Amino acid sequence: MSRILIDGGTIITMDEDRNGEGGIIEDGQILIEGQKIKKISEDRNEEIVKADRVIKARNHIVMPGFINGHTHAGMTMLRSYADDMPLMKWLEEAIWPAEQKLTPDDIYWGSLLAIIEMIRAGITTFADMYFEMDRVAEAVEKSGIRANLSRGLIGIDSEADKSLAEAEEFIHKWNNKTDRITLALGPHAPYTCPPPFLKDISVLGKKLGVPLHIHLAETRDEVEEIREKYDMMPVEYLDNFGLLSRPIIAAHCVHLTSREIRMLGENKVGVVHNPQSNMKLSSGVSPIIELMEERVPLALGTDGAASNNNLDLFEEMRTAAFLQKIMKKDPTVLPAFDVLNMATRGGAEVLNLPLLGQIKPGFYADIILINRESPHLYPGHNPVADMVYSAYPSDVDTVFVNGQVLMEKKEILTVDENRVLKAVKQRSSLLKEK
């Protein structure tokens, strides 16, 4: 079993058992043994073990990898394909017709492109909802990243039963195939999943023992549609089918009543905040402070590259903090540590991955090194604030997942980046001609 020593640097452990926000260790050492963190030393003079390899981390921030709680990786193929439109018009007139043209190979190469972008941004785990998920899983397997994958399910078209069968087949095929891939069912949204279809999903979810990944209360139009059709709010609609008692990854959650917020908190429903996508589509601002008050598990997500248009959790952290401060007219709300927690430990909780999100013995070695030798990270008074308010993806230097180095000194090691870029360029050109 290989042993890697990360030597030096400022370690932001995010360890909830350590005193102080972030559990910061200055000039420490981390021993990785196989896939997991074996030991952390606060004294570099202590010889904790003879390692097979030493990675020098002086002048770096060392911290848990970011967790992107809501994505559609294959949608990198549609980046900047349609912009500056409201959500339903964007979906119905631009995105859904374009997705009909995407081939399984398009999804594979688009997913690899997304994964490269995410690794470069320090993202070590992502939750994905899309179609042709076998090809997404292949991209995850090849790249070495970690992912929760769900086949998107829409119940208002002729392909509903077929998509549900594909989702079940996909879960059977990839369940326990690799410890880096976990699985879910992906009902698209309440307004695209009528009651009979949602009942089928509920039954299948219980049978397979997997969580749900769903867009929830994203727009006012969705809320009004559900209220008019069923005389209830979107969260109540899910509860009507017993779904709140199941593990749920609920993306967006922008338009919520106080009662719905309490229901989410009582049932520990995981909410993924996607501030930049919500801003771009003018969907609104999620009530994050109220959700925190009800102890709702919170993560951060980028959404897909067609609606954001990048996969950058540094931007999402900064935006999330600033949005709540201006909405509440209070600069003290959602401080830097709480936002960093959403991008790491909170993401692990929402995705039900308890051994992620912290640098702690026994946890998976999903670790990123961020180079502090840039003007925008000097003088370095507060490393947590620097990560949330000042850092960029270009500062990410080295990325570990499961103890494997995926990127070192900004070089992607598991995927031929130039080949991916070339393939996506060619395929996007063909997409325009279809």
φ, ψ of residue 223 in degrees (nearest 5): -60, -45
Per-residue pLDDT, 434: 58
Helix (H) or strand (E) holding 68: strand 66-71
Kindly report whether the peptide bond that precedes residue 297 is cis, defined as omega within 30 degrees of 0.
no
Q: Which residues, at least 6 apart from 374, have a Cβ–Cβ distance to it below 8 Å?
A: 395
Q: Where along the chain do the CATH 2.30.40.10 domains lie?
A: 3-64+355-412
Q: Give the pairing of strands 3-7 and 29-33.
A: antiparallel
CB atoms within 10 A of CB 297: 24
Which fold is adopted by the domain 66-350?
TIM Barrel (3.20.20)
Give CA–CA dist 343/357, Å, rounded.
8
Question: Per-residue pLDDT tens for 43-58?
Answer: 765 556 678 999 999 9
Structure tokens belonging to residue 83: 């912009």
Cβ atoms of residues 219 and 88 within 8 Å: yes
Per-residue pLDDT, 381: 96
Nearest in space to 370 (alpha carbons), one of 402, 336, 399:
399
Cβ atoms of residues 77 and 106 within 8 Å: yes
Q: Is the pTM of this model over 0.75?
A: yes
Which fold is adopted by the domain 3-64+355-412?
Urease, subunit C; domain 1 (2.30.40)
Helical H segments across 304-416, by residue range: 313-328, 336-343, 345-350, 383-389
CB atoms within 10 A of CB 414: 17
User: Which ranges of the chain have pLDDT less than 70?
Assistant: 19, 44-49, 432-434
Nearest in space to 355 (alpha carbons), one of 120, 48, 15, 68:
15
Give CA–CA dist 170/150, Å, rounded.
9
Nearest in space to 201 (alpha carbons), one of 248, 233, 143, 265:
248
Position of tokens 């000042």?
390
Per-residue pLDDT, 223: 96
Cβ atoms of residues 401 and 65 within 8 Å: yes
Question: Per-residue pLDDT tens for 373-417?
Answer: 999 999 999 999 999 999 999 999 999 999 999 999 999 999 999
Q: Where along the chain do the CATH 3.20.20.140 domains lie?
A: 66-350
Gyration radius (Cα) of the chain, Å:
21
Per-residue pLDDT, 46: 56
Give CA–CA dist 5/270, Å, rounded.
34
Per-residue pLDDT, 86: 84
